[in-house]
């Protein structure tokens, strides 16, 4: 059989569509960060079974999971996200490593 080839411009279009779908899905499940201190760089978050997605006010959504930066850090980030205080500071100190930049 001859392998199916897709022109580069169609492949790029499919990738853009897939990425946009991921953005919409991510936005739909994210909870606003309560920001009790009033000065957080975190806008919203989504707690996952083995990770947390964090969207920042300055732009960009990042996935932190049990692989990177690790289970202990992720569980602490989940607690801070639920509390609405300290998540941005914690990430600045300990969460510079992330598993994936989503957007």
- Domain edges within the chain: 30-101
Distance between terminal CA atoms of the chain? 37
> pLDDT confidence of 2, banded at 50, 70, 90?
low
> pLDDT confidence of 96, banded at 50, 70, 90?
confident
Give the containing element (helix H, strand E) for 55.
strand 51-56
User: pTM here?
Assistant: 0.74
CB 45 within 8 A of CB 33: yes
CB 81 within 8 A of CB 74: no
Q: Are strands 100-101 and 51-56 parallel, antiparallel or unpaired?
A: unpaired
Mean pLDDT of 39-66: 96
- Each residue of 17-33: pLDDT tens digit? 655 555 555 557 899 99
């Amino acid at each position: 059989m001859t392998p199916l080839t897709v022109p580069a411009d169609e492949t790029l279009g499919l990738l853009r569509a897939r990425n946009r779908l991921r953005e919409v899905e991510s936005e739909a499940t994210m909870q606003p960060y309560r920001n009790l201190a009033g000065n957080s760089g975190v806008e919203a978050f989504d707690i996952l079974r083995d990770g947390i997605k964090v969207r920042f006010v300055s732009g960009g959504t990042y996935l932190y999971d049990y692989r990177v930066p690790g289970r202990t850090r992720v569980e602490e980030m989940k607690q801070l996200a639920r509390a609405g205080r300290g998540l941005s500071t914690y990430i600045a100190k300990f969460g510079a490593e992330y598993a994936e930049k989503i957007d």
